[in-house]
Amino acid sequence: MKKINFLFGIHCHQPVGNFEHVFDQAYQDCYRPFIETLDRHPRIKFAAHWSGILYDWFLIKHPEFIDLLGKLVKRGQMELLTAGYYEPILPIIPDADKVGQIKMQSEFIKSKFKSSPRGLWLTERIWEPALPKVLSETGVEYVTVDDYHFFSAGLLPEELFGYYLTEDQGVTLKVFPINKKLRYLIPFKLPEETINYLRSEAGDDPSRAAILADDGEKFGMWPGTHQWVFKENYLENLLTRIEANLDWIVPMTFSEYLDEYPAQGRVYLPTASYFEMMEWSLPTRAGLKFARLMQEIEKSGRAEEYKQFFKGGFFRNFFVKYEEANNMHKKMLQVSSKLQTIKKSPSSGERQNLIESAERDLYQGQCNCAYWHGVFGGLYLGNLRHAVYEHLIKAEDTLQKIQRGEKKFTEVVVTDFDKDGAEEVLMANDLLNLYFSPRLGGGLFEIDYKPQAFNLANTLTRREEAYHQKIREAAPQNLAVTQTGTASIHDVVRVKEAGIQKYLVYDNYRKVSLLDHFLPLDISLEKIEHSDYQEMGDFIGAEYGFFPHRKSEEAKVTFSRVGRVGNQPIDLAKSVSLFSGASIAHIEYEIINRSDLPLSTIFGLEFNLTLLAGDAPDRYYKVPGKKLAEPKLQSRGEVPAVSEVKLIDGWKGFGVSLGLEKIGDFWRYPQETVSQSEGGFERTFQGSVILFLWKLSLPPNAKWTNKIVFKIEEGV
């Protein structure tokens, strides 16, 4: 009789910083019923990976679930896989952190389940050829990757019914190809279709194996799947059908298969992930072009054939596509480097405790979800970006205390922080980090308030995405939510609310703070919000010269540019000063009209700040001496003649104030993006755009000056 081995694995994960109700829903609708169902079918062997974030949550909220997992491990039904504890993309973190994170999870599994994991779940199946050597340091014998990885190496579908050996620098690793056909059958099609497919692939070779390893959230967490998988008994029926065919379907764990059968051969896999990830990671222009191309190919009915051999995309290009992701990544590398430097010195006692605390925060700041965007919100979700920054700032602050104790300090460092070939200016004291980009007009792109581990500049620029074309094409009467259950951007064709098309607005420049606008006299808030105007000056997005210096307890940097407003030459200089022991930055402006003609324009100073929630009653604007009809941070409006504006965070208990020496007009609007999620399309509040406007009428060679005080206060 022809037979086939069935290797089945799931991976379950929730991001660092996800909401508590999401964890609870995932547990109730997916994780618990899945394991309880498998518990009733002990002959169905499988592998499972749970991220460390979930293990931490289970231990606190549902320790009985840990006991249930232990039961399945003990009887040999479930094999546990290791990974980076806090679910990092392994190739993008330093090798020391790769080893540390994997060992943390492996040691947890050994401690709690008395089992030594042999296999590793490769986060998002992001493969790079140098992985075998570093994985060998952690005792990992095998990984699972997509069949697409093997297609990219030139193998054919009929060759992917077993595992292969790969190596780096003579160190070998076993790699299993995940069967895409099974990935789309289970759990979305009737059990009979899965049985028929397995029957069609059964053969006389006893080593022949059908291999599936995929997201566990498909079993109850994806839209509509809880009803289908559990209430309509899909999973129960599938397992029962497999049990009825155990004479030719042989469920095995991956390790059992390794112990019984040899490798199919040797293979060298190129850098790859699953096909959809490769598509999402294409830089913006290429991604838009590819989306249009795929639409044409789909019309021909040959899309799947094309995808099988498509080579393109690379995960690290998310750091090209999204500067915000790149800044998080480079911040993470910066903190990791500081940690490794400190670890070189002998440590014990309280110093060692602080190092371990910083290391755990660093690892949590490496959680992958906020670093990229595809069918899930990812980078577009401010709470996930905030969680990354929160842990990285905490780690950095802990390391600062190891090095400096409780001493107050200031420093200014010039370095290529974002690795683009241009220098950035990093100012810091014991309470604040201020990161500036001379290339972005002296823009302020990171504002870390250390006591709250909060990056106030954690906003997102509005960009065109390939899937936005689907929104433009949707008829208003058809605007509703739909999701087919697959992970391709071409499957989601409707949106959540009528009129969302009007929010497809794109910024002409990166939304950071301390940006210098010269605007026409007839400018309006609506025109600015919709990027429907022309700058009179050439300062936005232009290179500024800079001069950093430090004396005594003050760090200071001056940015300057000789530019033009219309045809008139203009000198602009702005200085930012930071003093030790204070969460205050002093900003001074000087604008000189160098032309022979009077200058008539509106000067606008832009800040982009976030307190995370736009509609929460405990996050709001406050303008002393003025009453706002709508104070929430997602509000828009104009307030004339102000001397101070405050953003209040009642949730965290602190406030941000911007005080003006010269009274100006205050305009505001919410920064909102339209992004794709597993449920359709969503408008997402990213932050508050704040503009201060002054009408300038400068005679030839006349000077305009102003001072702004940026201050953060506790207890508001």
Q: Which listed residue (39, 107, 215, 243) is catalytic?
A: 215
Measured distance CA(491)–CA(295) in Å, rounded: 11
Structure tokens at 434: 């201020």
Is 215 labeled as catalytic in the residue annotation?
Answer: yes
DSSP class of 81: P
Peptide bond into 187 cis (omega under 30): yes
Decide if 644 contacts 711 (C-beta within 8 A).
no
Place of tokens 């980090």: 433
Q: What is the dihedral of CA 681, 683, 685, 686, to 10 degrees?
A: 60
Distances (CA, A) of 50 to 109, 140, 179, 258, 450: 10, 16, 21, 22, 32
Structure tokens at 620: 């709001």
Pairing of strands 164-168, 142-146: unpaired
DSSP class of 374: S
Is 24 labeled as catalytic in the residue annotation?
Answer: no
Q: Which listed residue (124, 146, 446, 465) is catalytic?
A: 124
Q: Which residues, at least 6 apart from 349, have a Cβ–Cβ distance to it below 8 Å? A: none
Nearest Cα residue to 467 out of 295, 301, 303: 295
Residue type, 398: T
Measured distance CA(690)–CA(638) in Å, rounded: 10
Burial tier of 713 (Cβ tally within 10 Å: 0-12, 13-18, 19+): middle
Nearest Cα residue to 124 out of 38, 214, 54: 214
Q: Please, which residues bridge with residue 252 across strands?
A: 7
Full 3-state SS string of 230-252? HHCCHHHHHHHHHHCCCCCEEEE
Show which residues are catalytic: 124, 215
